[in-house]
Amino acid sequence: MSDTVRKQSRLEQPAALEARLSVRLARDERDLRAAQRLRYRVFIEEMGGTGPMVDHAARLECDAFDPVFDHLLLIDETRDPEAGEHVVGVYRLLPDARLSDVGQFYCDDEFDLEPLRRSGRRLLELGRSCIDPAHRGGVGMLYMWQGLADYVRAGGIEILFGAASFRGTDPAQNAMPLSWLHHHHLAPEALRVRPHHPKGDFLVPEAALDRRAALGQMPSLIKAYLRLGGVVGEGIYVDHDFCTTDVCIILDTARMSAQARVFGARMATG
């Protein structure tokens, strides 16, 4: 991790908002619990998800991978850390160098990741990305992506990937944007991961696509990944626990422009 993120020298300047924001990795159990509390508010209360390790009594969204991942946090320094409310954004990160500690990537249960492994390149799995509603649409996500860019550079990461989600478990409800991704942003064959149990009967023929409708229904985070040059694996995974339909997003740093590599503001917040 670079000194830029560790010391927050660049990222902890006050934003043009009421809050003072900074970005850093989770340091202790208190930080992790605050991240899990934010994830509970977003993934469980807001999106209606669940999971075998969700702690409803304590309002924590937990899973077995949490102790192994790094947790990149957006901190609102006006909120009391003792109350566990200081974390307002989260990215969960697993570099391939740490695979021996856990045995697999989180996405291994959803997608066949062998194409990425066979590439021989340094991999980073992204997951559990969420931000507090009070900080959506502002500079918070930009701060997080700047911190992520520092992490990627410090670790020599070459390929970023992870599950990106559409709300709902019926692919037909998101047929237009999913079909747009399939026809216009499919990963090259060498990196094209596929789900373990393919589903494809929801796809709209390319000639019938409505670009405006497709992009209008596309989650903003997925559109941001596309602006960075992101591509998707072939097929989807329906996650009934989280009530989502997932695609595998893949970002090859060698294919990014110089502007994209630093996660520019327009790309991060678009």
CATH code at 255?
Answer: 3.40.630.30
Helices (H), the chain: 3-7, 29-39, 99-102, 114-118, 140-155, 175-184, 211-216, 220-227, 258-261, 265-269
Q: Is the dihedral of CA 172, 177, 178, 182 positive or negative?
A: positive
More confident residue, 15 or 20: 20
- For 181-194, write each residue's pLDDT tens digit: 999 999 999 999 99
pLDDT band at 174 (very low <50, low <70, confident <90, very high): very high
Mean pLDDT of 61-79: 93
The C-alpha angle with vertex 32 and arms to 262 and 261, in degrees rounded to 5, equals 10
Structure tokens that stand for 31 in this block: 């930080």
Q: Is the pLDDT of residue 3 over 50?
A: no
Mean pLDDT of 2-7: 40
Structure tokens that stand for 168 in this block: 């709902």
**How many domains would you assign to the chain?**
1
Residue 51: its pLDDT value, please?
83
Q: Is the pLDDT of residue 9 over 60?
A: no
Residue 72: which domain range?
Answer: 3-269
Average pLDDT of the chain is: 86
Alpha-carbon span 98 to 46, nearest angstrom: 31
218 contacts 180 by C-beta, under 8 angstroms:
yes
87 contacts 37 by C-beta, under 8 angstroms:
yes
pLDDT band at 215 (very low <50, low <70, confident <90, very high): very high
Q: Is the pLDDT of residue 261 over 80?
A: no
Strands 123-131 and 159-167, how do they pair? parallel
Q: Is the pLDDT of residue 160 over 80?
A: yes
- The pTM of the full predicted model, rounded to 2 decimals, is 0.86
